[in-house]
């Protein structure tokens, strides 16, 4: 039995999230079915994180175990062949130790949220960015975001369906910048609560629109009350960017 670590890119638009679902297609289902076509084996995909319906990934890390004797490159090529036409691509495939686990060995996760700040309708970025027509003050958003950095109880920014044992997380950074007509929010932590990134972005957008004072983000955090959440940003602007693991810090 060999454990293969995969790096996966996907467009989340047609899926009910990454994790296998009873009520619709998922990224996990597509990859497991592709692996079965390649090997004839029933495998279970484990991933660094879960994503909601419509959320995308630039480099999700996952793994499964296979008995068939196959080279990583051949496995990657075969998986990509059988994944078509689903918008999923295996970018990298390698053998790892049995102790390596895509979820439990992960020491850090990073996300990016993309807002297209313009009035004209989206064409190329439809379902891949959140369109906000009103001009956003990204500098005010960045200042407000700093209240969320560090070790906090993020109950206000946690979905009522979140299964995490504790609402306490440590946010490594939360940065807001403008790149032309785009406002980009980048964040990283060891782990995140369900809907945490989207909830933080929604409140920061209210600051950018002038509907919230900058201080209200910190006040909402201290309230530890989901009722104090101003706005949950839509899923289609969110991207899982990267997962980090011990020993991989210096890899490109």
Phi, psi of 206 (to 5 degrees): -60, -40
Categorise residue 207: left if φ over 0, alpha if ψ from -120 to 50, beta otherwise: alpha
Question: Which of 209, 192, 207, 204 lies closest to 232 in space, CA to CA?
Answer: 204
How far is Cα 245 from Cα 252, in angstroms, rounded to an integer? 13
Q: Which residues are catalytic?
A: 52
On whether the CB atoms of residues 13 and 54 are closer than 8 A, the answer is yes
On whether the CB atoms of residues 7 and 52 are closer than 8 A, the answer is no
- Helix, strand and coil in the chain, % to nearest 5: 25, 30, 45
How far is Cα 195 from Cα 142, in angstroms, rounded to an integer? 19
How far is Cα 191 from Cα 158, in angstroms, rounded to an integer? 13
């Amino acid at each position: 039995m060999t454990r293969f670590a995969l790096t996966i890119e996907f467009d989340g638009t047609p899926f009910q999230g990454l994790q296998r679902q009873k009520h619709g297609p998922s990224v996990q289902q597509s990859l497991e079915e592709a692996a079965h076509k390649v090997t004839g084996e029933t495998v279970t995909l484990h991933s660094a994180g879960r994503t909601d319906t419509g959320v995308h990934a630039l480099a999700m890390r996952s793994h499964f175990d296979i008995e068939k004797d196959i080279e990583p490159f051949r496995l990657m090529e075969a998986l990509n062949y059988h994944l078509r036409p689903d918008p999923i691509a295996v970018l990298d495939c390698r053998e790892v130790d049995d102790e390596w686990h895509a979820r439990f060995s992960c020491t850090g996760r990073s996300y990016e949220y993309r807002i297209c700040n313009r009035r004209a309708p989206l064409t190329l970025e439809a379902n891949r960015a959140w369109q906000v027509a009103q001009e956003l003050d990204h500098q005010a958003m960045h200042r407000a975001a700093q209240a969320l950095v560090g070790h906090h109880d993020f109950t206000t920014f946690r979905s009522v369906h979140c299964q995490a044992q504790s609402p306490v997380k440590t946010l490594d950074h939360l940065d807001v910048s403008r790149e032309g007509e785009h406002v980009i929010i980048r964040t990283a932590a060891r782990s995140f609560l369900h809907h945490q990134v989207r909830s933080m972005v929604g409140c920061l957008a209210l600051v950018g629109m002038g509907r919230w004072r900058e201080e209200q983000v910190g006040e909402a955090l201290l309230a530890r009350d989901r009722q104090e959440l101003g706005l949950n940003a839509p899923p289609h602007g969110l991207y899982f960017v990267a997962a980090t693991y011990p020993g991989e810090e210096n890899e490109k």
